[in-house]
Amino acid sequence: MTEAIELLVREGCHLCDEFLLDLSLDHPAVIAGLRTHDVDADAALATEFGLRVPVLVVGGRIACEGRYDRAKVAAALGL
């Protein structure tokens, strides 16, 4: 996978922690290149996403948000 993979999170977000854990268990190779962004550290992200975290973005497109969805994530990763 050569597309950028980003996970938008918020500190203290239990859904974010669970999402990252599930992603790492299902797709451990993805974690090495995963970029995480705290939406509260970026005003533009905070405005756009607000409470809509976690959000997995693959190749600039939202692949999954909220609870981890194995099928959506696998499809977005081309698996």
Domain CATH for 40:
3.40.30.10
54 burial via Cβ count (<10 Å: 0-12, 13-18, 19+): buried
Task: Say if 58 falls within a structural domain.
Answer: yes
Query: Is position 78 within any domain?
Result: no
Q: Provide the number of structural domains found in the chain.
A: 1
pLDDT class of 1 with cuts at 50, 70, 90: low
Say if 73 falls within a structural domain.
no
7 CB neighbour count, 10 Å cutoff = 22
**Within a domain: residue 57?**
yes
Over residues 27-76, the pLDDT tens digits come to: 999 998 999 999 999 999 999 998 899 999 999 999 999 999 999 999 99
pTM: 0.91
Give the CA distances from residue 2 to residues 11, 29, 34, in Å, rounded to whole numbers and listed in that order: 27, 12, 11
Provide the residue range defining the domain that includes 63: 5-67
Tokens of 21: 């854990």
Domain membership flag for residue 72: no
| Secondary structure of residue 48 in the 3-state scheme | helix
76 is a domain residue: no
In a domain, 40, yes or no: yes
User: How much is the pLDDT for 50?
Assistant: 87
